[in-house]
Amino acid sequence: MSISASILIIEDNRGLAETVGTYLETRGMEVDYAADGEEGYRLAAENRYDAIILDGHLPRMDGLDVVRGLREVARLATPIIMVTGRDALEDKLEGLDRGVDDYLTKPFATQELEARLNAVIRRNRKEVGREVLTVGELSFDPACHRVRRGDKELELSPVSTKLLNILMRESPRVVTRREIEREIWGDELPESDTLRSHLYNLRKAIDKGFDTPLLHTVQSAGYRIAEIAPPRKVA
C-alpha cells in the first residue's frame, strides 16, 4: 500500500520519467519532474519533497554532484533513491557515502521502486518527527542535520551524520558494528575498515578540543555515545 507523498523525479530519459511519474500518481503521490541536474537541484532546494528519485548520470550536473550539493550546501535530509545503469559496488558505496539513501539498478520494476520509496519516507518521517537529540552538551537536529557541541557548530559528512544519528538515537545503549553497517549501507557492505574510518572522523569532529569524550568503543561489543564520568581518584 502506498502512502501520500510529494516526489521529485530527476531523470533525463523522458519516457522513463513519465512512466514512473504516471505510476506514482495513480498510487496517490504528487510528482514533479526535472530533466537535468541543475534544474533538479534548484527544485529540490526551493521546495519541500518527501523523497527524490535521482538518475546517476545527468546533463548539466551529475547525479552525485546533486547529492553532494543537497547534503552539504542546502543541508537537506530529504531521502534520495538513486537509479543507475551501473551495478558496480564501488559506485554504490560512493553514492551512499555522499548521502544517497537507497539504490535501484536499471531496469527496475515500478512496484519495487514504490516499496523502496515507502520505506525511506516512513523512516525519514519518524526521524524528522523526533525532537532534537541531546547527549550532554552535544545536540543533533535530525530535521536539518545540524550538530552542535556547546556553542560550536560541527560539520559532518553524510555518513558521519547517519552514524551520529544512530548512536545518539540509541544512547546510552551499545550498538554493534553489524547493526550500524546494516542501517547505513544495507546489503552493500563496505570493506572491513570503512566503518572504522568513519568512526575516527566522527570522534575527531565531536570530541577533539573538548575535555570529556562522548564517543566510546566498547571492546568486543560495539560503540556508544554517552556521558561517562571519569573514575574517582582514591586518596
Domain ranges of the chain: 6-128, 133-225
Q: What is the band of 159 on the pLDDT scale with cuts at 50, 70, 90?
A: confident
Provide the H-helix boundaries in the chain.
14-26, 37-46, 63-68, 89-98, 110-128, 158-170, 177-185, 194-207
pLDDT at 65 over 70: yes
**Segment 133-137 mean pLDDT:** 91
The whole-chain average pLDDT of the chain stands at 87
First to last CA, the chain: 65
Pairing of strands 51-55, 80-84: parallel
- Residue 203: predicted pLDDT: 94
The residues facing 134 across adjacent strands are 139
Residue 81, C-alpha cell as written in the block: 533513491
- The pLDDT of residue 128: 61
Q: Model confidence over 209-221: pLDDT tens digits?
A: 898 999 999 988 8
Residue 153: the pLDDT is: 92
- Indicate whether this model's pTM tops 0.75: no
The predicted-structure confidence for 106-132, as pLDDT tens digits, reads as follows: 888 999 999 999 888 888 877 665 678
Report the candidate in 47, 1, 66, 54 with the shortest Cα–Cα distance to residue 28. 1
Chosen CATH of 133-225 out of 2.60.120.10, 1.10.10.10, 3.30.2310.20, 3.90.1150.10: 1.10.10.10
pLDDT band at 193; cut points 50, 70, 90: confident
Strands 30-34 vs 222-225: parallel, antiparallel or unpaired? unpaired
Overall average pLDDT of the 156-185 stretch: 88
Burial of residue 101, with CB atoms counted within 10 A of its CB: 0-12 exposed, 13-18 middle, 19 or more buried: buried
pLDDT of residue 145: 80
Sheet holding 80-84, edge to edge: 30-34, 6-10, 51-55, 80-84, 102-105
Residue 9 · residue 66 · CB < 8 Å: no
Residue 83 binned pLDDT confidence (cut-offs 50, 70, 90): very high
Question: Any idea which fold 6-128 has?
Answer: Rossmann fold (3.40.50)
